[in-house]
Structure 1
Amino acid sequence: MADTYPNIADHGLIGDLQTAALVDSNGTIDWFCCPRFDSPSVFASLLDAERGGYCSVRPATDDYVSRQLYLPNTAILVTRFMTEQGVGELIDFMPVADGTATDRHRLVRMLRVVRGTLDFIAEVQPRFDYGRQAHDFSAVQGEGVIFRSPDQALTLHRVGDFVMHGGQRAGRGEIAGQGVRITGSLNAGEMTGVMLESGGVPPKRITHDELFDMFLETRRYWREWNERSTYRGRWREMVARSAMTLKLMTYAPTGALVAAPTAGLPEQVGGERNWDYRYTWIRDASFSVYALLGLGYTEEAEQFVEWLMQRVHESVGDTSGPLKIMYRVDGSSDLVEESLEHFSGYRGSAPVRIGNGAADQLQLDIYGEAMDSIHLADTHGLQLPHVGWTQLSRLLDWVCDHWDTAEEGIWETRGGPKKFTYGRFMCWVALDRGIRLAQSRGRPAPIPRWREQRDAIYEWVMEKGWDEERKAFVQYEGTEVLDASLLVMPLMGFIAPRDPMWLSTLEAMDDELVSDSLVYRYNPSASPDGLRGSEGTFTLCSFWYVDALARSGFLDEAQLVFEKMLTYANHLGLYAEEIGLTGEQLGNFPQAFSHLSLINAAVNLDYQLDHGSGFVDPVLSKGRRVI
Structure 2
Amino acid sequence: MSDTQQEEQQQVPAGRHDDPQARQLQKAPEDRGGEAVAGAAGPDDDAPVDERTAAAPKPREFPRPADCSLNLGVIGNCAFSALVDARARVVWCCLPRFDGDPVFNALLHPGEGGAAWGFEIEDFAEARQWYEPNTAVLRTQLFDSAGQGIEITDFAPRFYSRARYFRPLMLVRRVRPIAGAPRMRVALDPRFQWGATEPVEVTRGSNHIRYVGPDVTLRLNTDASISHILARQPFVVSREYNFMFGVDETLLDGIADTARRFEQETIAYWRVWSKRLAIPFEYQDAVIRAAITLKMSLYEDTGAIVAAMTTSIPEAPGSQRNWDYRYCWLRDAFFVVRALNSLSEVGTMEDYLRWLGNVVIGSHGEHIQPLYGIGLERELPESFVETLPGYRGMGPVRVGNQAQEHFQHDVYGNIVLGAAQAFHDHRLLQRAGEAEFPHLEAVGERAIAVYGTPDAGMWELRTRARVHTSSALMSWAACDRLAKIARALDKTARAEAAASGKPAENRINFAERAAYWHGHASRMREEILAKSWSEERQAFAESFGGRELDASILLMAEVGLIDARDPRFVSTVDAMEKSLCDGPYMRRYEAADDFGKPETAFNICTFWRIDALAKIGRKAEARQIFETMLAARNPLGLLSEDTHPVTGEMWGNFPQTYSMVGIINAAMRLSAPWDSAT
* Displacement after TM superposition at 1:559 (Å): 1.5
Q: 1:316, 1:43 → 2: CA distance?
A: 40
**With structure 2 as the length reference, what TM-score do the two structures score?**
0.82
Question: Residue by residue, what CA displacement relative to the aligned partner does 1:326-379 show, whole Å, maximum 9, x if unpaired?
Answer: 112222222111111222111222221111000121111122222222223433
Tell me which amino acid in the other structure corresponds to 1:341.
E
Q: 1:51, 1:423 → 2: CA distance?
A: 47
The yes-or-no answer on 1:357 pairing with 2:406 is no
- Which residue in 1 is equivalent to 2:663? 598
Q: 1:152, 1:535 → 2: CA distance?
A: 41
> Aligned Cα RMSD in Å?
2.5
- Which residue in 2 is equivalent to 1:314? 362
Q: 1:274, 1:317 → 2: CA distance?
A: 33
**CA shift in 2, pair 1:542/1:610, >3 Å:** farther
**With structure 1 as the length reference, what TM-score do the two structures score?**
0.89
Q: 1:254, 1:385 → 2: CA distance?
A: 22
Q: 2:164, 2:409 → 1: CA distance?
A: 35
* Displacement after TM superposition at 1:545 (Å): 1.2
Counterpart secondary structure, 2:632: coil
**CA shift in 2, pair 1:512/1:52, >3 Å:** farther
Question: Residue by residue, what CA displacement relative to the aligned partner does 1:70-123 show, whole Å, maximum 9, x if unpaired?
Answer: 011110011111223312211111112889899951111111111122111111
Question: Residue by residue, what CA displacement relative to the aligned partner does 1:594-618 show, whole Å, maximum 9, x if unpaired?
Answer: 111211221122379989xxxxxxx
- Which residue in 1 is equivalent to 2:150? 88
CA contact (8 A) 1:18 1:102 kept: no
The yes-or-no answer on 1:72 pairing with 2:133 is yes
- Which residue in 2 is equivalent to 1:618? none
1:384 to 426, 432, 452: 432
The yes-or-no answer on 1:186 pairing with 2:237 is yes
1:539 to 603, 613, 638: 603
**CA shift in 2, pair 1:608/1:457, >3 Å:** farther
Q: 2:17, 2:116 → 1: CA distance?
A: 16
CA contact (8 A) 2:120 2:187 kept: no
CA contact (8 A) 2:94 2:100 kept: yes
Q: 1:463, 1:367 → 2: CA distance?
A: 22
Q: 1:216, 1:521 → 2: CA distance?
A: 43
Counterpart secondary structure, 1:13: strand
The yes-or-no answer on 1:513 pairing with 2:569 is no
**CA shift in 2, pair 1:365/1:268, >3 Å:** same
List runs of 5+ in structure 2 lacking aligned partners. Answer: 1-15, 21-66, 491-507
CA contact (8 A) 1:158 1:206 kept: no
Query: Percent of pairs identical after alignment?
Result: 33
The yes-or-no answer on 1:30 pairing with 2:95 is no
* Displacement after TM superposition at 1:282 (Å): 0.4
**CA shift in 2, pair 1:299/1:103, >3 Å:** closer
* Displacement after TM superposition at 1:534 (Å): 3.0
* Displacement after TM superposition at 1:306 (Å): 2.5
The yes-or-no answer on 1:59 pairing with 2:121 is yes
The yes-or-no answer on 1:461 pairing with 2:528 is yes
CA contact (8 A) 1:51 1:127 kept: no
- Which residue in 2 is equivalent to 1:573? 637
- Which residue in 2 is equivalent to 1:213? 261
**CA shift in 2, pair 1:173/1:134, >3 Å:** closer
- Which residue in 1 is equivalent to 2:41? none
Counterpart secondary structure, 1:146: strand
CA contact (8 A) 2:120 2:184 kept: yes
**CA shift in 2, pair 1:357/1:433, >3 Å:** same
The yes-or-no answer on 1:369 pairing with 2:434 is no
Q: 2:671, 2:416 → 1: CA distance?
A: 26
Matches within 5 A, 1:24-173: 24-49=85-110, 50=112, 52-61=114-123, 63-85=124-146, 86-96=148-158, 104-159=168-223, 162-165=224-227, 172-173=228-229
- Which residue in 2 is equivalent to 1:174? 230
The yes-or-no answer on 1:271 pairing with 2:319 is yes
List runs of 5+ in structure 1 lacking aligned partners. Answer: 166-171, 176-180, 612-627
CA contact (8 A) 1:290 1:376 kept: no
Q: 2:305, 2:115 → 1: CA distance?
A: 26
Further displaced range: 19-28 or 371-380: 371-380
* Displacement after TM superposition at 1:173 (Å): 2.5
Q: 1:422, 1:219 → 2: CA distance?
A: 42
Counterpart secondary structure, 2:277: coil
Question: Residue by residue, what CA displacement relative to the aligned partner does 1:261-306 show, whole Å, maximum 9, x if unpaired?
Answer: 1111110122211111111110111112221111111222122122
Question: Residue by residue, what CA displacement relative to the aligned partner does 1:387-431 show, whole Å, maximum 9, x if unpaired?
Answer: 321111111112112111211111112222211111101111111
* Displacement after TM superposition at 1:452 (Å): 3.4
Counterpart secondary structure, 1:22: strand
* Displacement after TM superposition at 1:316 (Å): 5.3
The structure whose RCO (Cα within 8 Å, separation 6+) is larger is 2
Q: 1:439, 1:217 → 2: CA distance?
A: 45
* Displacement after TM superposition at 1:185 (Å): 1.2
**CA shift in 2, pair 1:72/1:340, >3 Å:** same
1:301 to 349, 365, 368: 349
CA contact (8 A) 1:35 1:103 kept: no
CA contact (8 A) 2:95 2:102 kept: yes
The yes-or-no answer on 1:503 pairing with 2:554 is no
Counterpart secondary structure, 2:180: strand
1:548 to 603, 612, 625: 612
Tell me which amino acid in the other structure corresponds to 1:466.
W
Tell me which amino acid in the other structure corresponds to 2:145.
E
- Which residue in 2 is equivalent to 1:281? 329
Q: 1:302, 1:103 → 2: CA distance?
A: 18
CA contact (8 A) 1:128 1:149 kept: yes
Q: 1:23, 1:338 → 2: CA distance?
A: 26
- Which residue in 1 is equivalent to 2:35? none
Displaced runs of 4 or more, over 6 A: 97-103, 607-611
* Displacement after TM superposition at 1:310 (Å): 1.9
Q: 1:480, 1:398 → 2: CA distance?
A: 28
* Displacement after TM superposition at 1:40 (Å): 1.3
The yes-or-no answer on 1:474 pairing with 2:538 is no
CA contact (8 A) 1:67 1:79 kept: yes
CA contact (8 A) 1:144 1:204 kept: no
